[in-house]
Amino acid sequence: MTDQSPKRLFIKTYGCQMNVYDSQRMAEALGAEGYVETDRADDADMVLLNTCHIREKAAEKLYSDLGRLKPLKAERPDLKIGVAGCVAQAEGDEIIRRMPLVDLVVGPQAYHRLPAMARGEAPAVDTEFPAEDKFDHLPERRATRRHPAAFLTVQEGCDKFCAFCVVPYTRGAEVSRPAARILSEARDLVARGVREITLLGQNVNGWHGEGAAGLGELIRQLAGIEGLDRIRYTTSHPNDMADDLIAAHRDLPQLMPYLHLPVQSGSDRVLKAMNRKHTRDDYLRLVDRIRAARPDILLTSDFIAGFPGETDADHADTLRLIEEVGFGTAFSFKYSPRPGTPAAGRALVPEAVADARLHEMQALLARQQKAVQEGMVGRTLGVLFEKPGRLPGQMVGKSDYLHSVFVQAPEAAVGDLVQVRIVASAPNSLEGVLA
Ligand code: 5AD
Ligand code: SF4
């Protein structure tokens, strides 16, 4: 007797938004094989861990999670366990050697081969950078869950080689998808009820695909799609903020007033050691130009504390840069040496010093975040409802500036884009009333 019931797939996603997007596309690819998603590992037929290699802690999380799956695999040996994403790319079959319970290892450029791997018709380890484009071999986007905001990968990989970063090795060289493909995927998403699209790329503003001169022009083309109300993009490198992209922020109401622009450090010495190829002053002048084009833009950033060689004076420079710019929010991390990167062998800043610097940076950034959020109180902003809140009649959505906003709106539906007057600020969200 053959079992006709659908196979269940549990995906856990670590790390960045591109992994979130990749997980959706892998679910779609396996969907064509009869897999349906479940939110529990213990009743799944396949468990897929879509991993992140950016910092050591993120990578180690995979091994502790795999350890936790051991009893499940012992109970049900036919359970398939797959490792995808950047740890898969970096460690390949080493993962199976260390954790024999793993059946499949698939890198970020090979996941269109996942269905064949799952059927046992392709090698169990695939970390190639194949010549074919995985996007050409994936099934059409499907509406897995009704959600009015979607991610769309337009560019992958990075050619910048910052001294701390594994991305150029795990995601490979920069590759941009052609504009026509991106536009057709965007139209498809909009036809399914999507109103907001975030364009994704490790170095998204370095997009240089066919059919447009750069990301600015690509965004202009996307802005012509009827029903696409909001466009965002992430993550950008300061050196690739072209004039046309800055002008798009001035010209296009669909392009949201929000920009994630990592700077990593405010010290020229450290920026040089990081191979960032821009100075503190380059960044500050760029911020001025962006704000001249779109005065209300909310800037966010990434910072690393305790990069090898960083002194107290360098750290003070970073704090001063944060003060000067004023960020809406920012991610800050303690430096984590990554195997294979240029900075990996350099002498570390003592752990306690790096910890203290990280805390100081985070405290300052938290004060800025609080001030920015409090500054929203009294303003009327667009909010796109993404899901019902916990309280009866409550909806939760994102403001133009990407803050989560809770609103009493019993008549409203997910996908409504409404005007909301902000009445209060909580630590990580805002509260508003329908305007
Ligand atoms: N150590 C600490 N933080 C890192 N990041 C990237 N690599 C490292 C590392 N080795 C941070 C950078 C980057 C963000 C995605 O992660 O700030 O912008
Ligand atoms: Fe990593 Fe630098 Fe490329 Fe960003 S720009 S992905 S930090 S190498």
SS (H, E, C) 8-54: EEEEEECCCHHHHHHHHHHHHHHHCCCEEECCCCCCCCEEEEEECCC
Smallest-distance ligand from the CA of 172? 2
**Structural domain ending residue among the three candidates 218, 241, 256:** 256
C-alpha 112/C-alpha 177 separation (Å) is: 16
Confirm or deny that 373 is annotated as ligand binding: no
Confirm or deny that 261 is annotated as ligand binding: no
The answer to whether residues 157 and 251 belong to one domain is: yes
Measured from the CA of 343, which atom of ligand 1 is nearest?
Answer: 10
The 3-state DSSP class for residue 417 equals strand
The answer to whether residues 123 and 207 belong to one domain is: no
Measured from the CA of 164, which atom of ligand 1 is nearest?
Answer: 10
Nearest CA to ligand 1 atom 17: 302
340: left (phi over 0), alpha (psi -120 to 50) or beta: left
Question: What pLDDT score was predicted for residue 2?
Answer: 45
Measured from the CA of 159, which atom of ligand 2 is nearest?
Answer: 3
**Structural domain ending residue among the three candidates 82, 115, 134:** 134
Q: Is the CB of 344 under 6 A from ligand 1?
A: no
Question: What pLDDT score was predicted for residue 1?
Answer: 40
C-alpha 74/C-alpha 94 separation (Å) is: 21
Q: Is residue 307 part of a domain?
A: no
Question: What pLDDT score was predicted for residue 3?
Answer: 53
Measured from the CA of 331, which atom of ligand 1 is nearest?
Answer: 17
In the reported structure, the alpha carbon of residue 339 is separated from the centroid of ligand 2 by a whole-number distance in angstroms of 15
The answer to whether residues 154 and 106 belong to one domain is: no
User: What is the gyration radius of the CA atoms in the chain, in angstroms?
Assistant: 22
Smallest-distance ligand from the CA of 304? 1
C-alpha 395/C-alpha 430 separation (Å) is: 12
Nearest CA to ligand 1 atom 12: 302
Q: Is the CB of 431 under 6 A from ligand 1?
A: no
Q: Is the CB of 168 under 6 A from ligand 2?
A: yes
In the reported structure, the alpha carbon of residue 326 is separated from the centroid of ligand 2 by a whole-number distance in angstroms of 22
**Structural domain ending residue among the three candidates 115, 134, 153:** 134
Q: What is the pLDDT of residues 214-223, one digit of tens each?
A: 999 999 999 9
In the reported structure, the alpha carbon of residue 275 is separated from the centroid of ligand 2 by a whole-number distance in angstroms of 10
Q: Is residue 336 part of a domain?
A: no
Confirm or deny that 120 is annotated as ligand binding: no
Confirm or deny that 245 is annotated as ligand binding: no
User: What is the span of the domain harbouring residue 83?
Assistant: 7-134
Contact between 332 and 362 (Cβ < 8 Å): yes
Q: Is residue 287 part of a domain?
A: no
The answer to whether residues 72 and 183 belong to one domain is: no
The answer to whether residues 149 and 233 belong to one domain is: yes
Pocket test for ligand 1, best of 165, 274, 275, 362 (most atoms within 8 A of CB): 165
In the reported structure, the alpha carbon of residue 172 is separated from the centroid of ligand 2 by a whole-number distance in angstroms of 11
DSSP H or E run through 93? none
Would you give the end-to-end CA distance of the chain in angstroms? Answer: 60
Q: Is residue 42 part of a domain?
A: yes
Q: Is residue 286 part of a domain?
A: no
The answer to whether residues 11 and 86 belong to one domain is: yes
The answer to whether residues 62 and 84 belong to one domain is: yes
Pure H helices in 260-339: 268-273, 280-293, 312-325
The answer to whether residues 191 and 224 belong to one domain is: yes
In the reported structure, the alpha carbon of residue 158 is separated from the centroid of ligand 2 by a whole-number distance in angstroms of 6
The answer to whether residues 80 and 189 belong to one domain is: no
Measured from the CA of 276, which atom of ligand 2 is nearest?
Answer: 2
Peptide bond into 38 cis (omega under 30): no
The answer to whether residues 70 and 182 belong to one domain is: no
In the reported structure, the alpha carbon of residue 203 is separated from the centroid of ligand 2 by a whole-number distance in angstroms of 7
φ, ψ at 220 (rounded to 5°):
-60, -40
Q: Is the CB of 202 under 6 A from ligand 1?
A: no
Nearest CA to ligand 1 atom 13: 302
The answer to whether residues 191 and 172 belong to one domain is: yes
Confirm or deny that 158 is annotated as ligand binding: yes
Question: What pLDDT score was predicted for residue 123?
Answer: 85
Residues with pLDDT less than 50, the chain:
1-2, 144
Confirm or deny that 16 is annotated as ligand binding: yes
